[in-house]
Amino acid sequence: MIPPAYAPDEARGLWVFLEQEGGQLEGVALELLGKGRELARARGILLTGLLLGHGVEAGARQAIAHGADHVVVAEDPLLAAYTTDAYTNVSARIILERKPETLLLGATPNGRDLAGRLAVRLRTGLTADCTGLAWEEGTGLLLGEVTGFGGGVMASIKCARHRPQMATVRPGIFPLPPSDPDHAGRIESVAVSLEAGEIRTQILERVRHAGVDITRASVIVAGGRGVKGDFGPVTELARLLGGEVGASRVACDLGWIGRDHQIGQTGFVTRPKVALVCGISGATQFSVGVKDAGLIVAINSDPEAPIFEEADVCVVDDLFPVLEALIAELKRRRP
């Protein structure tokens, strides 16, 4: 066994890495603070946010309002934009000094990059893409729930001997906690020792992603193989309902719609108020991305389709005339 960087009995507290963009915390950081608050309360431990960046005071206050007891802030112009070397080096130094018991990160592109790098640097384990987090009864170890073996089974993973116990969670898995401006917490600035020479990459250009964000949509109309390449009615219905278009992986693989729209294990996890799922069979890998919708309406011509086990409203029919009728009715009401 590789010796741990620090012993479990030296480790204290639950930490959340607070990913930020332009000083504002990413949604997943707030979601993790919400879940972290619940987990910390259950064991009577402190919830600490780790915030790296430059000009991030507002983000630290945002973290306190969303449940952090304490925010450790490392500010430096070299941390203004994410780079693997700078963020790994600074985070690892702070973690080795403060010895958190648990560290949660968002499974965003940067969060995933940092988590993998940190786990190696800290010689600990990492449970990636958790769909649930809980304390194990008796031991108090973190249990990360993941879909395994191609999505066919749910597995609980723990890290018994190394610290911090690390997990990443994708955006949208946990709800956004409410903001409480009266919640009290401590913001602590720590000195950063970082040399430009430690950073092997140089950012030449930043390009803002112009695609859709289905993780924040309150209405989603999703299409799968059953739309047979024609996303017209699905898109029209989504537009009339003020929602976004979602898709199964098959529909994306076939090039009918962009990858930004993919719902599921290898796509996005969504939690809309209403999801209309059209011509999608409802494989576990798809359903994991829509199961927390407030209301699921499934339209499928196969009465045995697994999606009907998840759906609140089941329409056994050809999706095209059903969508046509819904579109006509909405247009009649709101021309």
Ligand X SMILES: Cc1cc2nc3c(=O)[nH]c(=O)nc-3n(C[C@H](O)[C@H](O)[C@H](O)COP(=O)(O)OP(=O)(O)OC[C@H]3O[C@@H](n4cnc5c(N)ncnc54)[C@H](O)[C@@H]3O)c2cc1C
Q: Which stretch binds ligand X (CB under 6 A): 30-38, 91-99, 176-184, 316-324?
A: 316-324
| Measured distance CA(270)–CA(263) in Å, rounded | 7
Whole-number Å distance between alpha carbons of 287 and 306: 9
Q: Which of 85, 213, 318, 324 contacts ligand X by CB under 6 A?
A: 318
Q: Which listed residue (285, 290, 296, 311) binds ligand X by CB under 6 A?
A: 285
Q: Which of residues 48-67 bind ligand X (CB under 6 A)?
A: none
In this chain, which of 23, 301, 327, 330 binds ligand X, going by CB under 6 A?
Answer: 301
Determine, following the binding rule CB under 6 A, whether residue 250 of this chain makes contact with ligand X: yes
Q: Is the bond into 164 cis (omega within 30 degrees of 0)?
A: yes
- Our finding on whether 248 is near ligand X (CB under 6 A) is yes
- Looking at 53-61, 116-124, 155-163, 283-291, which segment touches ligand X (CB under 6 A)? 283-291
Binding window for ligand X (CB under 6 A); candidates: 40-48, 95-103, 194-202, 219-227: 219-227
Q: Which of 83, 91, 102, 265 binds ligand X (CB under 6 A)?
A: 265
Buried b (16+ CB within 10 A) or exposed e, 36-72: bbebbeeeebebbbbbbbeebeebbbbbbbbbbbbbb
Distances from the Cα of 3 to the Cα of 161, 163, 172, 235, angstroms: 9, 10, 35, 54
Query: Which of residues 20 and 262 has its CB atom nearest to ligand X in the complex?
Result: 262
CA–CA distance, 276 with 260 (Å, rounded to integer) = 17
Nearer to ligand X, 23 or 132 (CB): 132
Candidate list 49, 106, 185, 226; residue touching ligand X; CB under 6 A: 226
Residue 317, strand partner residues: none
Going by their DSSP bridges, the two strands 165-169 and 14-17 should be labelled as unpaired
| Contact set for ligand X, span 133-192 (CB under 6 A) | 150-151
- Placement of tokens 């973190």 in the chain: 142
Binding ligand X (rule: CB under 6 A), the pick from 215, 264, 272, 274 is 264
Question: Of the ranges 19-27, 88-96, 109-117, 248-256, which one interacts with ligand X (CB under 6 A)?
Answer: 248-256
Which span (12-20, 95-103, 209-217, 273-281) binds ligand X, by CB under 6 A?
A: 273-281
Q: How many residues bind ligand X (CB under 6 A)?
A: 29
Select 140 or 229, whichever has its Cβ closest to ligand X.
229
Q: Where are the beta strands (DSSP E) in 92-194?
A: 102-106, 126-130, 132-135, 142-148, 153-157, 165-169, 186-190
Q: Which is nearer to ligand X, 259 or 331 (CB)?
A: 259
Residues 69/41, Cβ–Cβ less than 8 Å: no
233 binds ligand X (CB under 6 A): no
| Buried/exposed code over 249-275 (b: 16+ C-beta within 10 A; e: otherwise) | bbbbeeebbeebbbbbbebbbbbbebb
Min dist. Cβ of residue 269 to ligand X (A): 9
- Which pairs with CB-CB distance under 8 Å and at least 24 residues apart come from 307-311? 307/277, 307/280, 307/281, 307/282, 308/282, 309/282, 310/282, 311/277
Distance CA 103, CA 312 (A): 36
314 touches ligand X (CB under 6 A): no
List residues binding ligand X (CB under 6 A).
Answer: 150-151, 224-226, 248-251, 262-267, 279-281, 283, 285-286, 299-302, 305, 318-320
